[in-house]
């Protein structure tokens, strides 16, 4: 099955700086890569996703890049704000109808802290 690794596990930045979280995956057939944000005590919520036919996607201060050859994808947050502080999870979705279609594999999460 798929294996998703996420780094770093913790990240501290100064307000206004950029933050980058990286994930690698093992299954070259994976084709959907969402990022979820989970604030303390809350449920995970999707912030951005990318499909394998696209190399980069941006939404205001958030962007995701995908390198299919190297099998890694990254979340970039620019001009960070204290309200960006949360745990961020990357994920990869299986595509093999025989065993992995429908399964979503999450990384272990990155605790991002943005200091004022």
Partner 1 sequence: EAQVTQNPRYLITVTGKKLTVTCSQNMNHEYMSWYRQDPGLGLRQIYYSMNVEVTDKGDVPEGYKVSRKEKRNFPLILESPSPNQTSLYFCASSPSVNNEQFFGPGTRLTVL
Is 105 a residue that touches partner 1 (CB under 8 A)? yes
Token code pair at residue 10: 């913790």
CA nearest neighbour of 87 among 34, 21, 24, 23: 21
Is 50 a residue that touches partner 1 (CB under 8 A)? no
CB of 61 to partner 1, least distance (A): 19
Q: How far is Cα 66 from Cα 70, in angstroms, rounded to an integer?
A: 9
Is 58 a residue that touches partner 1 (CB under 8 A)? no
One residue of 23, 93, 112, 114 binding partner 1 per CB under 8 A:
93
Tell me the per-residue interface mask from 2 to 31 with partner 1, x by CB under 8 A, - otherwise. Answer: ----x------------------------x
Phi and psi at 29, nearest 5°, equal -85, -10
One residue of 11, 62, 63, 104 binding partner 1 per CB under 8 A:
104
Is 101 a residue that touches partner 1 (CB under 8 A)? yes
Cis peptide leading into residue 8 (ω within 30°): yes
Q: How far is Cα 67 from Cα 24, in angstroms, rounded to an integer?
A: 10
CA nearest neighbour of 16 among 69, 68, 80: 80
Per CB under 8 A, residues contacting partner 1 are: 1, 6, 31-32, 34, 43-46, 49, 51, 89, 91, 93, 101-109
């Amino acid at each position: 099955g798929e294996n998703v690794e996420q780094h770093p596990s913790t990240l501290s930045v100064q307000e206004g700086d950029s933050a980058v979280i990286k994930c690698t995956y093992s299954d070259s057939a994976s084709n959907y890569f969402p990022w979820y944000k989970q604030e303390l005590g809350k449920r995970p919520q999707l912030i951005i996703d990318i499909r394998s036919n696209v190399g980069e996607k941006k939404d205001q201060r958030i962007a995701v890049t995908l390198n299919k050859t190297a099998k890694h994808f990254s979340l970039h947050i620019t001009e960070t704000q204290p309200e960006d502080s949360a745990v961020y999870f990357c994920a990869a979705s299986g595509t093999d109808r025989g065993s992995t279609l429908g399964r979503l594999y999450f990384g272990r999460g990155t605790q991002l802290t943005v200091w004022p």
